[in-house]
Amino acid sequence: MSNINVTTYPEDKIFEESGYDDHFYEHHHGDKYQSSFIGHYIFSMDHKMISKQFLITGIFWAIIGAAMSVIFRLQLGFPEESLAWLKPILGKWIVVNDAGIGKLAPEFYYALVTMHGTILVFFVLTAGLSGTFSNLLIPLQIGARDMASPFLNMLSYWFFFLAGVVMFLSLFVSTGPFAGGWTAYPPLSALPQASSGSGTGMTLWIVSLAFFVVSVLLGGINYVTTVLNLRTKGMTMWRMPLTIWALFITAIIGILSFPVLLSGFFMLMFDRGLGTSFYLNDIFIGGEALDRVGGSPILYQHLFWFLGHPEVYIIILPAMGMVSEVLAVHSRKPIFGYRAMAYSIMAIAFLSFIVWAHHMFMSGLNPFISNFFVVFTLIIAVPSAVKVFNWITTLYGGNIRMVTASLFAIGFVSMFISGGLTGIYLGNSTIDIQMHDTYFVVAHFHIVMGVAAFFGMFAGIYHWFPKMYGRFMNETLGRIHFWGTLICAYAIFWPMHYIGLAGVPRRYYDFSTFDAFKHFEDLNKFITIAAIIAFGLQILFVVNFFYSIFKGKKLTTRNPWHANTLEWTTPIEHLHGNWPGNLPVVYRWAYDYNKDDREYVPQHIKLNENEVDNH
């Protein structure tokens, strides 16, 4: 990296002189619980190792979830082509007709769509994203030895792992995995006679997600406690990097909203197994009138979306925080409007709790109630707009290093704009009458919380990979990955706006039944081809990731990006307790880039005489 006035700061010496002695090493002689293979790599209590566990598990699920989307995209893009070649993997779910054309069974198509959503939303973009980076960055960036409770932190991962095992098993049950959509609306999800996937597949689905909620709560409590209690000396709240602000608020949202989902899930379990009627009323199915009255399917929707909406911010806020950090570091400028950024995270988080019913405008909700939800929903556009303007202004006047991490961060801003703006259409109940449950919605949320969150995650991975593994990821492959993904992501989701504007509903296995929906074969083919290429590019990323862990270019200095935050003051080799001696003491905010003649001034550097901290 080429820069003027490149200073390197002798961290160890500084910490020895002005660090804070927390007597850590007097208590932990020999670091016993990391000494064995199992203790170090499997049941690890070290936040850096747990972070890697979350990331690699997330990558595993991302590959499965993405592969599923490729299979159902093949059905949508090439309904006439035979999928018989998938029979060795999918078995009876490929139905081969007399002419030898193999087609995906409709119930399995819906199972794939459902699993794709569940896996990506929960396992990849919640656990894989905030699990990874909360673990990695919270202790390192606030100057803590580890999480407040390393044990709960370990449990958090293993509950996630357990959730994964149960979900994975559900893929192989004979009645198929759950197929009622990732939102699992009853009565479809409550009654096995309504869909074959609502049998054992659904039982496993809901058990898996119950474990998952436990994982999120254990993790979240830990993150919040750690940020509140374990910040090092001088690390006031207003000196925290925006990554920490984002991860901190994310954890709070998770703690407040996931229990509501869990209670909703429990009632669904009772309806399924114990004969209660929380969500059931007046149902005639399978030739009989059910003896289950008095409940309301709408109640479930309220409980689900009370999590479901904050959930999209649980997904996007960590990405926003990381993008803020990556953009500031690589444009060599302070993040523009630091306080506004933090306040807008808080505003978004607060608003995220009072907008849930905008998913339910057309569910039979009293139209009067929708008025409030429209107002609050569209207010979110204001803090979101502030964030976008601040990111763009952060680039203005910078000296931007075009590394893969910063490219992905720029791509994130583009995706967030494109996907965020379509939210203004959908949040307006009047337009939502027509747009609800069409491909326009699919385009909107995939761009704004799918692709954008992935871009934020990639920015984070490329940026902090050296911190995680002591090596760089390959830049050339990274750039191919970025450009390919940027182009493919838009190629996949942009045309979906048009399909949606033509009125085509989402979750259709086949469009040929309807005259109004069947004239988009070309677009659907185009989308499918783009999706296949995008999938290939993500495999490229995975190859690069694992190759670089072992063979990537080695890190020679602690602070390769010349960043100001504390994680870059730790030794390249990970050690338990993060800092070999004293803890760093913080004297300034995280964004003193090109403040004076110094190109960057890390947080642990004392203020000069007459120098004012800028936050």
Partner 1 sequence: MTFIVLIILALIVIITIQIGRISDLATKIRGEEVANEQQNNRSALGLLIFLVVFLVLCIGSAWYYKDVMLGYGPLTSASEHGFLIDSMFNWTLFFTGIVFVITHIALFWFSYKYREVRGRKASFMAHDTTLEMVWTLVPAVVMAFLVVRGLVDWNKIFDAGKNGEGYIEIGATGYQFAWDIRYTGADNKLGAKDFRLIDPATNSLGLDWKDEASLDDIVLGGSDVIMLPVDTLVKMRVSSKDVLHSFYLPHFRVKMDAVPGMPTYFTFKPTKTTEEFRQELRKYPEWNEPYDPSDPESKPRWKEFNYELACAELCGKGHYSMRRIVKVVSKSEYDSWLAGQKSFYLKNIRGTENDPHKDELFPFEIENRKKELTAEFDAKANPETALAAGEDIIILKHVFYNTGSAGLRDLSKHELDNVVSLMNKYPNVKLELRGHTDNVGDDDLNMKLSQERADNVYNYLVGKGISDSRLSAKGYGETMPIGSNDTAEGRQENRRTELRIISK
Please, which of residues 293-312 interact with partner 1 by CB under 8 A? 293, 295-298
Q: How many CB atoms lie within 10 A of CB 125?
A: 28
Return the number of the residue (56 or 417) whose C-beta is nearest partner 1: 417
* Number of residues that this document lists for the chain: 615
According to the binding rule CB under 8 A, does residue 433 interact with partner 1? yes
Indicate the residue among 160 and 593 with the shorter CB distance to partner 1. 593
Question: Which of residues 170, 422, 524, 578 is near partner 1 by CB under 8 A?
Answer: 422
Q: Which residue of 8, 26, 396, 573 would you call a contact of partner 1, by CB under 8 A? A: 396
Q: CB of residue 125 vs partner 1: minimum separation in angstroms?
A: 21
Rounded Cα gap, residues 332 and 190, in angstroms: 54
- CA dist., res. 377 & res. 523, Å (int): 31
580 lies in the binding site for partner 1 (CB under 8 A): no
- Identify which of residues 133 and 472 has a Cβ nearer to partner 1 in the complex: 472
Q: Are 96 and 87 in contact (CB under 8 A)?
A: yes
Contact string (CB under 8 A) for partner 1, positions 152-181, x = contact: ---------------------------xxx
* Distance (Å, whole) CA 83 – CA 357: 39
- Could you tell me the two tokens for 367? 């139209």
Task: Report if residue 2 touches partner 1, rule: CB under 8 A.
Answer: yes
Binding mask 217-256 for partner 1 (x = CB under 8 A): ----------------------------------------
Nearer of residues 79 and 219 to partner 1, judged by Cβ: 79
Among 374, 405, 453, 459, which residue interacts with partner 1 (rule: CB under 8 A)?
374
CA distance 506 to 190: 22
Among 10, 38, 80, 284, binds partner 1 (CB under 8 A): 284
Backbone φ, ψ for residue 462 (5° rounding): -65, -35
Please give the helix or strand (H or E) that residue 96 lies within, else none. Answer: strand 94-96
Is 549 within 8 Å of 561 (Cβ atoms)? no
Of positions 91, 273, 275, 364, contacts partner 1 by CB under 8 A: 364
Return the SS3 of 593.
strand
Query: Binding residue for partner 1 (CB under 8 A) from 128, 164, 495, 577?
Result: 495
**Buried residues in 254-288 as b, exposed as e (16+ CB within 10 A):** bbbbbebbbebbebbbebbeeebbbbbeebeeeee
Helix axes 132-142, 47-77, angle to 10 degrees: 150
555 touches partner 1 (CB under 8 A): no
Q: Which is nearer to partner 1, 1 or 237 (CB)?
A: 1
Secondary structure (3-state) at 583: strand
What track of x and - describes contact with partner 1 for positions 528 through 547 (by CB under 8 A)? ------------x--xx--x
| Distance separating alpha carbons of residues 201 and 198, to the nearest angstrom | 6
Q: Which two tokens stand for residue 213?
A: 């909620």
Give least dist CB 484 to partner 1, A.
Answer: 12
For partner 1, the closer CB: 16 or 437: 437
284 beta partners: 289
Q: Could you tell me which stretch among 124-132, 135-143, 279-287, 310-318 binds partner 1 (CB under 8 A)?
A: 279-287
* Rounded Cα distance, 128 and 121, in Å: 10
Judged by CB under 8 A, does residue 31 bind partner 1? no
| Stretch binding partner 1 (CB under 8 A), from 13-21, 65-73, 260-268, 505-513 | 505-513
Question: Does 285 participate in binding partner 1 (rule CB under 8 A)?
Answer: yes
Please answer whether residues 51 and 146 qualify as being in contact, where contact means their C-beta atoms are separated by less than 8 angstroms.
Answer: no
Q: How far is the CB of 241 from partner 1 (least distance, A)?
A: 14
The reply to whether 610 sits near partner 1 by the rule CB under 8 A is no
Does position 474 interact with partner 1 (CB under 8 A)? The reply is: yes
Q: Is 326 left (phi over 0), alpha (psi -120 to 50) or beta?
A: alpha
- Considering only 431, 532, 533, 549, the residue that binds partner 1 (CB under 8 A) is 431
Does the protein bind partner 1 through residue 8 (CB under 8 A)? Answer: no
- How far apart, in whole angstroms, are the C-alpha atoms of residue 133 and residue 319? 9
> Which 84-103 residues touch partner 1, going by CB under 8 A?
88
Bridge partners of residue 289, in order along the sequence: 284
Supply 203's token pair.
Answer: 């039982």
CA distance 363 to 301: 9
Q: For residue 8, count CB atoms less than 10 angstroms from its CB and return exposed for 0-12, middle for 13-18, buried for 19 or more.
A: exposed
- Judged by CB under 8 A, does residue 511 bind partner 1? yes
Residue 176 C-beta-side C-alpha neighbours within 13 Å? 25
Give the count of alpha carbons within 13 A of 516, CB side only.
8
Q: Which of 95, 421, 529, 555 binds partner 1 (CB under 8 A)?
A: 421
Contacting range for partner 1; rule: CB under 8 A; set: 212-220, 312-320, 397-405, 443-451: 397-405
- If one asks whether residue 591 binds partner 1 (CB under 8 A), the answer comes out as yes
Binding mask 321-360 for partner 1 (x = CB under 8 A): ----------xxxx-xxxxx--------------------
d(CA 457, CA 124): 10
Residue 7 near partner 1 by CB under 8 A: no
Q: Is 264 in the site for partner 1 (CB under 8 A)?
A: no
Tokens of 36: 């064995």
| CB contact at 8 A, 448 and 416 | yes
Decide if 202 contacts 189 (C-beta within 8 A).
yes
- Contact between 215 and partner 1 (CB under 8 A)? no
Q: Give the one residue of 6, 96, 165, 289 binding partner 1; rule: CB under 8 A.
A: 289
Nearer to partner 1, 402 or 575 (CB): 402
In the set 138, 486, 531, 583, which binds partner 1 (CB under 8 A)? 486
Q: What residues between 105 and 134 interact with partner 1 by CB under 8 A? A: 105-107, 110
- 340, 134, 90: which is closest to 251 by C-alpha? 134
Q: Which of residues 40-59 bind partner 1 (CB under 8 A)?
A: none
Query: With respect to partner 1, which residue has the nearer C-beta, 32 or 554?
Result: 554
CB-nearer residue toward partner 1: 172 or 514: 514
Least CB distance to partner 1 at residue 47 (A): 30
- For partner 1 (CB under 8 A), the number of binding residues is 129
